[in-house]
Amino acid sequence: MLSSLKQILAKQKDILVVIPAFCSYYLLTQHLISFELSEGQSMHPTVKDGELVIVQRALYKIQKGDIIIAKSPVRPDYTICKRIVHLEDEIDPNGNKVPKNHVWIEGDNGKVSFDSKFHGPIPINLIQGRVIY
């Protein structure tokens, strides 16, 4: 009886170590920093297909020229990686003012990139992080 109680307590100790480790991992990767695998050619040559990038998910300011990851404005189940080309109140390539709380994004490989040239500026709340390599 005593040995089985010791076994139960030993298993609980393992659980008590695993739970905080899992919680720490979740908080780190969802809210601070994560590693993402790129797919596609739209950011070539800056970010190559299959390249692992580091994404800063908190404590950054959106700036022109930043490479960001965001939810696709057309397919919300997709995550996209693009460069911020114009900020709010700037004039986009079509001669229109980028609306408040929006950014104009483009891929570095314009020939294959599906970006703001097709769907217009995206709301900044779709941005999930900034690529820091």
Digit-coded pLDDT (tens) for 54-79: 999 988 999 999 999 999 999 999 99
pLDDT given for residue 19 in this prediction: 76
With cut-offs at 50, 70 and 90, classify the pLDDT of residue 25: confident
Yes or no: say if 45 and 105 are a contact pair by the CB < 8 Å rule: no
Catalytic-residue membership of 3: no
Given 38, 42, 113, 116, the catalytic residue: 42
pLDDT given for residue 115 in this prediction: 96
Task: Tell me what percent of the residues of the chain surpass a pLDDT of 70.
Answer: 88
Phi/psi zone of residue 122: left (φ > 0), alpha (ψ -120 to 50 degrees), beta?
beta
81-95 mean pLDDT: 97
Q: Comparing 59 with 83, which gets the higher pLDDT?
A: 83
Predicted structure pTM score: 0.80
Catalytic-residue membership of 34: no
Residue 94: how many other CB atoms lie within 10 Å: 9
Given 82, 97, 111, 116, the catalytic residue: 82
Yes or no: say if 66 and 83 are a contact pair by the CB < 8 Å rule: yes
23-41 mean pLDDT: 87
Phi/psi zone of residue 89: left (φ > 0), alpha (ψ -120 to 50 degrees), beta?
left
Q: Provide the residue type at 74 as one letter.
A: V
